[in-house]
Amino acid sequence: MSLVGMMSRATWAGIFASVSLTLVSPSWAQTDDQIAAARAAADAGANSFEAGNWEKAIGYFERAEALVHSPVHLWYIAQASAKLGRLVVAKERCVKVRREGLPEGASSGRIAAYEGCESLIREIEGRLASLTIEVSGLPDDAEFEVLRNGAKVPSAIVGVPAPIDPGTYTLAGRANGFKADELKVHLSESERKLVTLRFISDPTASLTPETTSGSETKPAPAAATAPVDSRRGGFRAGPPIGSYLAWVIGAGAIGAGIGMGVHSIGLGNQLDDICMGSRTNCRKDVYELSTTQKVESDRRTFEILSVVGYGVGGAAILTGFAIWAFHPAPTPIAKIDHFEVHPIIGMGRLDLVGTF
């Protein structure tokens, strides 16, 4: 029986609760919105996992992991993948958790993820199949490609006993002037097989241009995905919060500058009244001289503060636009054909999580 089957419902409830508390942030640049969204996605993933909906659980936890890294996310993805028979994916996720280790003071959720992955790796290693693909019938320097269930197999895997999920596979091969007919192979758990793709001459067969040039063929981008350069942001995206903050500071500084300027003008009018319209003709007695000097000093002080306010405000506003212009653009999002929205209600909180 697997680790999941042996654990009690109460144990899982505790682990589910810990998911929201074990998010590991690899960068200060992550926002509160990203962390909150990751927590909500992890909660939804835990609920789907508990309900036995493995595909949805994987989807939710992959979204959470894309926002904020946590070993707990990887553990849940590994457990759900193992339930679906995707043993290679499950093992690799757990290997990542094991490599991170347990830092001092690790949370209960992280400890459970580490220990759970240790057990799951041992279980999976006893179930993984192994397939070695060899080729024959080709010139020594011939370029070729091997297809497994229609997908290209990296050339480095050919001739290597590669771990593979148990199941049935269709193999085929092609090269310039050669082809290998389809070959079906079935592997049970723990089974190891070696198969040989035999190429025969076929003048009509050829490789794709990408393979001929020495690089692996990459799948064409989906038509629904808009080409967006994610390296630059500019004014194509909405202003970030830093821009708004700079603009608020700038507006406040300019407002203060205006107030200081108005007060400076008022002091100037007061000085004109004391001097009876002509500051140069003020009487030079001791009382008038001390009064005019004080008023003039205050007027100059507020005039300088007004200029400083305008300067600081203008610089802050320009800084806001600079932050907007150079902040990274959002990741391009593919066209959504279907989505579901689920409410997540907890103690003192209400979240909405969507499946796309």
Is 310 buried (19+), middle (13-18) or exposed (0-12) by CB count in 10 A?
Answer: middle
Task: Please write the tens of the pLDDT for every residue from 55-93.
Answer: 999 999 999 999 999 999 999 999 999 999 999 999 999
**DSSP string of 269-285, one letter each residue:** HHHHHHTTT-GGG---S
Q: Which residues pair with 145 in a beta bridge?
A: 174
Cα Dmax for the chain: 118
Query: Looking at residues 171-183, what average pLDDT do you find?
Result: 92
Taking CA 69 as the corner, what is the angle to CA 66 and CA 73, rounded to the nearest 5 degrees? 85
Provide the pLDDT confidence category of residue 9 given band limits of 50, 70 and 90: very low
Query: Looking at residues 19-44, what average pLDDT do you find?
Result: 71
Can you tell me which residue has the tokens 């919060």?
241
Mean pLDDT of the chain: 77
How many other CB atoms are there within 10 angstroms of residue 341's CB atom?
9
Provide the pLDDT confidence category of residue 262 given band limits of 50, 70 and 90: confident
Q: Which residue from 315, 312, 323 is spatially nearest to 241, judged by alpha carbons?
A: 323
Fold of 3-125: 1.25.40
Provide the pLDDT confidence category of residue 227 given band limits of 50, 70 and 90: very low
Q: Alpha-carbon distance 307 to 312, whole Å? A: 9
Kindly state the tokens that stand for 199: 């190429």
Provide the pLDDT confidence category of residue 210 given band limits of 50, 70 and 90: low
Question: Nearest 10 degrees: CA dihedral of 280, 281, 285, 288?
Answer: -70
- Which tops the pLDDT comparison, 196 or 224? 196
Provide the pLDDT confidence category of residue 305 given band limits of 50, 70 and 90: confident
Q: Per mean pLDDT, which range of 12-21, 265-274, 322-331 is the poorest?
A: 12-21
Instruction: Residue count of the chain, please give it.
Output: 356
For residues 341 and 353, is the Cβ–Cβ distance under 8 A? yes
pLDDT of 54 above 90:
yes
For residues 257 and 308, is the Cβ–Cβ distance under 8 A? yes
pTM of the predicted model over 0.85: no
Query: Looking at residues 215-232, what average pLDDT do you find?
Result: 41
The pLDDT of residue 29 is 53
The pLDDT of residue 345 is 47
Domain at 129-212, CATH class: mainly beta
Q: Alpha-carbon distance 3 to 119, whole Å? A: 7
3-state DSSP call for residue 28? coil
**DSSP string of 71-90, one letter each residue:** HHHHHHHHHHHHHTT-HHHH
For residues 175 and 138, is the Cβ–Cβ distance under 8 A? yes
The pLDDT of residue 215 is 39
Kindly state the tokens that stand for 103: 């830092």
Q: Alpha-carbon distance 93 to 76, whole Å? A: 9
Ramachandran angles phi, psi of 322, nearest 5°: -65, -40
